[in-house]
């Protein structure tokens, strides 16, 4: 588990404990594997009832089935509630004939036919709990307290404040800011016409995805807040299902993965196209460690490692670069890096996103390839994002900030950064690599189309080689400078249960 994720999780637990204290209760953090610990706790605490949240993911189902069996053997009543998703995912699968829907359009159709999600419950209060008090021992901190970072082996010296503070309290503050005091302004800025500039590439005080992932924020609360905002702004109009697309994409991947334990890999995954990716550990390491020689890609990967989050367009860019765009490395390798570093990397959503980005499933427009120079330049023309995360390039003129290898030698010296000495040369020629990889994908899809009798190539434009990216020529290093180069136990610890003595 990475430092950013661990810090976020511990802050979530501290915040939960603080909230429970206000209700005359406390959080009990138990160390160890649930299957080994629960039999003892059932006896020691005289537990009569165990409640927990439904986990739709395959490894969670297996773990929870074992806990249910232990509880049954101990005479403990088990109550499981669906709260991490808007809907009962098994019901969605049932409506689709027993198979999860594999297109988002079909998923939307099914969800539209269902009842709206249940409204979120009101917050707990002391009045509601009455005289209910949790007995706490004097050594509670030592036995059941939230562990500290250094206890878990992390170096906490010179630790910067978290960019994403964990906890429900922070999540609710962000939610209020997201929907704002002015309904019309909130709607225009966050939903109707969100602005795209360099600033959204930075972590936003309105960002919510890590809080949804860790259960700090109820997806149903967000759903009904969004509905309420829409009704205020649009008055009598009924919201379209597309209003909730950001939540529904999350739900879509959860549903697709719910009964597929191999959703996160290519082999044995019935919905994944088997693509003969290259195995290139050296190139993979350069990508993961922000040493590709493409400032746009390296700045994104630096932000990810430092802060645990990157914008969704940045995710598209680095995923495409690693897989079908430039390096032709398996999406599984990129997914593992994101799983380690990304705060909002739910297992289902992370794997589903990589399946999409690599055109291995769900998404077939392989001819759309992100240029590692032009795409970033369109979003952030001044290169402020690059200068922030790659200070070695800070003094480069804006003209060359995205392709510094094209800068004359005197410009490089003036910027105190010589390419190939102070910052890497580009590891690939993007123009050549992307053209080759598009042709590879075309052949794979053509074979698949013949085998399955599908018309997968019907949407491929005749000029597909021209759709590679903007300013592609700038992404090709000049000849004189060009170089070419060929977790389950942690998840166990993230599960929370509520026991009633």
Q: Could you tell me the two tokens for 394? A: 């800070």
Closest Cα to residue 146, out of 491, 492, 496?
Answer: 496
**Binding annotation:** 199-209, 344-346
What distance in Å separates the CA atoms of residue 15 and residue 167, rounded to the nearest whole number?
Answer: 5
Q: Where are the extended beta strands (E) located within 153-242?
A: none
Which tokens hold the place of 24?
């005359």
Q: With respect to residue 348, please indicate whether it lies within any of the assigned structural domains.
A: yes
Question: What torsion do the CA atoms of 419, 420, 423, 424 make, to the nearest 10 degrees?
Answer: 120
Q: For residues 478 and 344, state if they share a domain.
A: yes
Confirm whether 498 is domain-assigned.
Answer: no
Cβ count within 10 A of residue 11: 20
The CATH number given to whatever domain includes residue 115 is: 1.25.40.80
CATH number at residue 439: 1.10.579.10
Same domain, yes or no, for 113 and 188? Answer: yes
Would you state the torsion angle of the CA atoms of residues 94, 96, 98, 103, taken in this order, to the nearest 10 degrees?
A: -130
Residue 468 falls within a domain, yes or no? yes
Same domain, 248 and 295: no
User: For residues 320 and 433, what is the distance between their CA atoms, to the nearest angstrom?
Assistant: 12
Same domain for 230 and 359, yes or no, is no
* Domain final residue, candidates 213, 228, 259: 259
Beta partners for 329? 278
Q: Encode the chain (501 residues) as per-residue pLDDT tens digits.
A: 789 999 999 999 999 999 999 999 999 999 999 999 999 999 999 999 999 999 999 999 999 999 999 999 999 999 999 999 999 999 999 999 999 999 999 999 999 999 999 999 999 999 988 888 888 999 999 999 999 999 899 988 878 889 999 999 999 999 999 888 887 877 777 776 555 544 679 998 889 999 999 999 999 999 999 999 998 888 877 888 888 999 999 999 999 999 999 999 999 999 999 999 999 999 999 999 999 999 999 999 999 999 999 999 999 999 999 999 999 999 999 999 999 999 999 999 999 999 999 999 998 788 888 999 999 999 999 999 999 999 999 999 999 999 999 999 999 999 999 999 999 999 999 999 999 999 999 999 888 876 554 444 434 343 433 334 334 445 555 443 333 333 433 333 344 444 444
Count of CA atoms in the C-beta half-sphere (13 A) of 474: 20
Reference 92, options 62, 55, 56; nearest CA is: 56
Distance in angstroms (rounded) separating the CA atoms of residues 491 and 343: 14
322 plus 443 within the same structural domain:
yes
Count structural domains, the chain: 2
How many angstroms separate the CA atoms of 10 and 6, rounded? 6
- The whole domain housing 368 covers 281-486
Clarify whether residues 468 and 341 are in a common domain. Answer: yes
* Number of CB atoms found within 10 A of residue 458's CB: 8
CA 347 to chain centre: 8
Is residue 216 domain-resident? yes
Task: Please tell me whether residue 124 adopts helix, strand or coil conformation.
Answer: coil
The C-alpha atoms of residue 496 and residue 489 are separated, in whole angstroms, by 14
165: DSSP letter: -
- Is there a single domain that holds both residue 188 and residue 219? yes
Give the pLDDT score at 467.
37
130 part of a folded domain: no
At residue 91, the pLDDT reads 96
192 and 335 belong to one structural domain? no
Considering the domain architecture, whether residues 393 and 351 belong to the same structural domain is answered as: yes
Note whether 241 and 301 are same-domain residues.
no
Record the tokens describing residue 464, joined without a space: 């597909």
Distance separating alpha carbons of residues 214 and 205, to the nearest angstrom? 17
Q: Is residue 304 part of a domain?
A: yes
- 137 with 143: CB under 8 angstroms? yes
Among candidates 29, 77, 23, which has minimal Cα distance to 49? 77
Same domain for 229 and 337: no
Q: Does residue 313 sit in the same domain as residue 204?
A: no
Binding residue ranges for FAD: 199-209, 344-346
Tell me what pLDDT residue 187 has: 76
17: in domain: no
Q: Model's pTM, two decimal places?
A: 0.88
Angstrom distance (rounded) from CA 476 to CA 405: 9
Domain end position, chosen among 259, 293, 324:
259
Residue 131 within any structural domain of the chain: no
**In DSSP terms, which residues pair with 53 in a beta bridge?**
81
């Amino acid at each position: 588990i990475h430092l950013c994720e661990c810090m976020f999780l511990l802050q979530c637990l501290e915040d939960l404990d603080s909230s429970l204290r206000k209700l005359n209760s406390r959080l009990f953090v138990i160390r160890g594997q649930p299957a080994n610990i629960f039999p003892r706790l059932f006896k020691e605490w005289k537990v009569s009832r165990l409640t927990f949240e439904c986990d739709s993911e395959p490894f969670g189902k297996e773990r929870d089935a074992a806990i249910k069996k232990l509880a049954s053997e101990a005479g403990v009543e088990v109550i499981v509630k669906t709260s991490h998703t808007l809907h009962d995912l098994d019901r969605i699968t049932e409506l689709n004939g027993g198979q999860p829907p594999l297109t988002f359009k079909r998923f939307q159709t099914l969800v539209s036919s269902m009842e709206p999600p249940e409204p979120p419950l009101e917050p707990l209060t002391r009045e509601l709990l009455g005289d209910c008090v949790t007995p706490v021992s004097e050594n509670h901190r030592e036995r059941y307290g939230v562990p500290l970072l250094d206890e878990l082996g992390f170096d906490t010296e010179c630790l910067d404040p978290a960019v994403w503070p964990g906890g429900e309290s922070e999540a609710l503050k962000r939610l209020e800011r997201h929907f704002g005091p002015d309904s019309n302004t909130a709607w225009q800025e966050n939903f109707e016409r969100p602005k795209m500039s360099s600033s959204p590439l930075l972590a936003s005080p309105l960002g919510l995805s890590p809080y949804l992932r860790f259960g700090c924020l109820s997806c149903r609360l967000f759903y009904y807040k969004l509905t309420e905002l829409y009704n205020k702004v649009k008055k009598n109009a009924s919201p379209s299902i597309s209003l909730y697309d950001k939540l529904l994409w999350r739900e879509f991947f959860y549903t697709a993965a719910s009964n597929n334990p191999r959703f996160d890999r290519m082999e044995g995954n019935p919905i994944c196209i088997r693509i003969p990716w290259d195995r290139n550990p050296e190139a993979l390491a350069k990508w993961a460690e922000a040493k590709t020689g493409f400032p746009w890609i390296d700045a994104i990967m630096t932000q990810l490692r430092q802060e645990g989050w990157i914008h969704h367009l940045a995710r598209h860019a680095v995923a495409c670069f690693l897989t079908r765009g430039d390096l032709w490395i398996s999406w599984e390798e990129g997914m593992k890096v994101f799983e380690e570093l990304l705060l909002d990397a739910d297992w289902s959503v992370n794997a589903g996103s990589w399946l999409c980005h690599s055109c291995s499933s769900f998404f077939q427009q392989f001819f759309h390839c992100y240029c590692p120079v032009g795409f970033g330049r369109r979003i952030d023309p001044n290169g402020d994002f690059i200068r922030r995360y790659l200070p070695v390039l800070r003094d480069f003129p804006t003209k060359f900030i995205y392709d510094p290898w094209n800068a004359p030698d005197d410009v490089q010296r003036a910027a105190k950064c010589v390419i190939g000495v102070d910052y890497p040369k580009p590891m690939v020629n993007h123009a050549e690599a992307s053209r080759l990889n598009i042709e590879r994908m075309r052949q794979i899809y053509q074979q698949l189309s013949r085998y399955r009798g599908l018309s997968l190539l019907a949407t491929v434009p005749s000029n597909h080689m021209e759709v590679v990216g903007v300013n592609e020529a700038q992404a090709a290093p000049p000849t004189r400078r060009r170089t070419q180069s060929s977790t389950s136990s942690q998840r166990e610890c993230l599960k929370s249960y509520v026991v009633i003595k």
